[in-house]
Structure 1
Amino acid sequence: MPEWVNRPEGSNWGDFGADDQLGTLNYIGAEQRRAAADEIREGLSFCLSLPLDLPGKVVLNPRRKPPRLAPTYLGDTPYINYPLSNTDPVLKDVLSDDQVVLSTQYSTQWDSLAHVGALFDADGDGVPERCYYNGHRAEVDVLGAEPNSQHASFAKRLSASEMAKSPIQGRAVLVDFVRHFGTDRVIIGRKELEEVIAAQRLEIREGDILMLRSGYAEALWDMQDDPDADRLGQTGAVLDGTDTALHQWITDSRIAAIAADNYAVENPNADPHACCLRLPLHHHCLFKLGMPLAELWYFRELAEALARNNRSAVFLTAPALYLRGSIGSPVTPVATI
Structure 2
Amino acid sequence: MTDTAPDLQDLLRDSPSNWGKWGDDDEVGSLNYLGAEQVLAGAALVRSGKTFTLQRLIGDPKGDPVWPGRAPAERTQIRDESTWDATDAPVAPGGLHYADDKIEAFLQGSTQYDALGHVWYGGKIWNGYDARTTIGGLTKASVEPIARRGVVGRAVLLDMARFRGKDNLDAGETFTHEDLLACAEAQGVTIEKRDILIIRTNFLKLFHDLGDTFYKGFCEPGLVYSPELVQWFQDMEIPNLVTDTMANEVTTDPNNGVTLVLHNALMRNLGLAFTEIADLEAYAADCAQDGRYDGFYVAAPLKVHRGSGSPVNPIVIK
* Shorter-chain TM band: 0.7 to 0.9
Tell me, in whole angstroms, the C-alpha distance in 2 between the residues paired with 1:31 and 1:52: 34
Q: 1:158 to 1:233 in 2, by over 3 A?
A: same
| Pair 1:14 & 2:20 matched | yes
Deviations 1:169-192 (A, max 9, x none): 221110011221122323102332
Tell me the CA shift for residue 230 of structure 1.
Answer: 5.8
Cα distance in 2 for residues equivalent to 1:108 and 1:232 = 23
What is the CA-CA distance between 1:289 and the residue it aligns to?
A: 0.3
2:57 alignment counterpart: 51
Q: What SS does the corresponding residue of 1:118 show, helix, strand or coil?
A: coil
The aligned residue for residue 104 of structure 2 is 101
Which residue does the alignment assign to 2:223?
Answer: 239
**Aligned mates of 1:250, 1:34 — CA distance in 2:** 22
User: Aligned to 1:315, what secondary structure does the other structure show?
Assistant: strand
Q: Matches of 2:240 and 2:90 in 1, distance apart?
A: 57
Displacement of 1:79: 3.5
Partner of 2:134: 142
Which amino acid is 1:245 matched to? E
1:46 Cα deviation (Å)? 0.9
* 2:70–2:109 contact (8 Å) kept in structure 1: yes
1:192 matched residue in structure 2 = 179
Q: Quickly say closer, same or farther: Cα 1:260–1:86, change in 2 above 3 A.
A: closer
What is the distance in 2 between the residues matched to 1:272 and 1:210?
24
Asked if structure 2 preserves the Cα contact closer than 8 Å seen for 1:216 and 1:261, the reply is yes
1:316 aligned to 2:297? yes
Paired with 1:40 and 1:89, the residues of 2 have a C-alpha distance of: 46
Please state how far the C-alpha of 1:308 moved relative to its aligned partner.
2.0
1:54 is displaced (CA, Å) by 5.1
1:101 and 1:87 mapped to 2: Cα distance?
25
The Cα shift of 1:98 comes to 1.7
**Which position in structure 1 is the counterpart of 2:244?**
261
Map of 1:66 onto structure 2:
72
Cα RMSD (Å) of the superposition? 2.9
8 A Cα contact 2:219 2:252, kept in partner: no
Residue 319 of structure 1 deviates from its aligned partner by: 0.9
CA separation in 2, counterparts of 1:189 and 1:132? 25
Give the counterpart letter for 2:189 in structure 1: L
**1:306 — aligned with what?**
287
> Which residue type is aligned with residue 57 of structure 2?
P
Counterpart code for 1:102 = A
Under a length normalisation based on structure 2, what TM-score does the superposition of the two structures give? 0.84
Aligned residues with identical type, % of pairs: 28
Q: 2:214 aligns with which of 213, 229, 235?
A: 229
Give SS of 1:155's match.
coil
Aligned-partner Cα distance in 2 for 1:196–1:55 = 34
Alpha-carbon shift at residue 85 of structure 1 (Å): 8.7
Q: TM-score, normalised by structure 1?
A: 0.80
* C-alpha contact 1:262 1:297 (8 A) present in aligned 2: yes
Match of 1:147 in 2: none
Deviation at 1:55, TM superposition (A): 9.7
**Distance in 2 separating the partners of 1:164 and 1:88:** 38
Which of residues 126, 131, 134 is equivalent to 2:124? 131
Residue 284 (1) aligns with residue 265 (2): yes
Quote the residue 2:6 is aligned against: none
AA in 2 matched with 1:216: F
User: Counterpart of 1:258 in 2: which secondary structure?
Assistant: strand
CA distance 1:166–1:90, shift in 2 (3 Å): closer
CA contact (8 A) 1:53 1:107 kept: no
Who is 1:148 aligned against? none
- The one-letter amino acid of 1:252's match is D
Decide whether aligned partners of structure 1 residues 91 and 26 sit closer, same or farther in structure 2, where only a CA change above 3 A counts.
Answer: same
